Amino acid sequence: MDELIGIIIAAVISWLNFVLIDTWMGLPESPGVKGAEVIGRGIKKRGGDLAGGFFQGNIVCSPDASAGTLLASIACYAIGTPEGGLIAATLVYFGNRLCADPGYAGTTGALTITVIIALTSYIGITPAMFIVGMLIAIFTIQGLYHPSSSKLLGKIAQKMDRYTKMN
Amino acid sequence: MIVGLLLKLPLLPENPKRQSWTISAIFPTAVLALGFTAMISKLGYLNSTNSDYIIALMVGIITAIFSKYILERILPRPSQDSSGEPSISSVEPPEEQEKSNQSQNKFESSKNSKTQNEFDESSNNSSQPKEESNG
């Protein structure tokens, strides 16, 4: 497969993987630690959405599905599929526990992207493409413009019944 | 998972699962067992022979014991302090917690009685010179 097309497909899959899993696991509902709350309220002050802000704060403060997706892609590239992804899931779990997080989102994200990498390898998408794709995906959430991205995350949270009840 | 259930780990965390800190047979025991088996495989200890099954079985048993007895000691769940910020603290079994609470209460009560006695003595001492000065 052409490298650019592969990276674009991998970016879309990675984006959906981490946003859907993190939202499903309740990242927009409440901040896990004080740092996430500070980030969420800071984004709201700048015209963003509070639930989306909590989502962004939580993925900064502990390794959630975004980190799981990236680390599993790197481990599959460096160690092999699926062993790398399974090792990454274990290490992400330990990282989560160190960051006062029960670890469901990060571990699930690492395991699902390992399955996806194994399946998409049949159409020529490599783990290296997923590494680049995930970097692009996380850049669209954390790197471009927080108010807009938090509003999008807030809408997704509302659709999935995970919107925050905090004010 | 079977050894985990035999060690009385619950099959699944309680609801809502996404906020539960309970260590169960499926999460994280099965996930950790897969990860540890993958590590051993990549280190070259699994080489497609009959001994692989025994090694994999041993990894499963050790992981279940690790999840039940060691995991919460090395990676304790956070406890909420008064400010609402989760802080990491060691998890003690309920019996040990009761003991420590009792010993703390004893210490506090003895400390209070001591300070009360000291206070009484000091008040007596302070009253004596007054009487002398008056007399």
Nearest of A27, A33, A92, A29 to residue B88 by alpha carbon: A33
CA distances to A157, B59, B67 from A23, in Å: 6, 33, 27
What's the gap in Å between the CA of A98 and the closest CA on chain B? Answer: 7
CA distance B33 to A86: 9
CA distance A125 to A103: 28
* Number of domains forming the structure of chain A: 1
Of A87, A161, A164, which to mutate for an interface test with B (greatest number of B Cβ within 10 Å)? A87
Q: Are A137 and A149 in contact (CB under 8 A)?
A: no
Torsion over CA of B90, B91, B97 and B99, rounded to 10 degrees?
-60
CA distance A20 to A120: 19
With contacts defined as CB-CB under 8 Å, which chain A residues touch B86? 32-33, 100
CA distance A148 to A143: 11
What's the start-to-end Cα distance of chain B, in Å?
85
Task: Please give the mean pLDDT across all residues of chain B.
Answer: 71
* A110 in any annotated domain: yes
For A22, nearest residue in chain B (alpha carbons): B18
pLDDT at B108: 52
* A166 in any annotated domain: no
pLDDT at B132: 43
What crossing angle do the helices spanning A83-98 and A65-78 adopt, rounded to 10°? 140
Look at the alpha carbons of A87, B9, A27, A35 in this order and tell me if their dihedral is positive or negative.
negative
Asked whether the beta carbons of residue A94 and residue B84 sit closer than 8 angstroms, the reply is no
* A63 in any annotated domain: yes
The conformation of residue A121, written as its DSSP 8-state character, comes to G
In this predicted structure, the answer to whether residue A11 has a pLDDT above a threshold of 60 is: yes
* A31 in any annotated domain: yes
In this predicted structure, the answer to whether residue B32 has a pLDDT above a threshold of 60 is: yes
Instruction: Count CB-CB contacts under 10 A for residue B23.
Output: 19
ipTM value for the complex: 0.86
pLDDT at B12: 84
Instruction: Provide the b/e sequence for A56-72 (b: ≥16 CB within 10 Å).
Output: bbbbebbbbbbbbbbbb
pLDDT at B80: 62
**Residue range(s) defining the domain that contains residue A67:** 3-159
pTM: 0.78
In this predicted structure, the answer to whether residue B130 has a pLDDT above a threshold of 90 is: no
Any CB–CB contact under 8 A between B114 and chain A? no
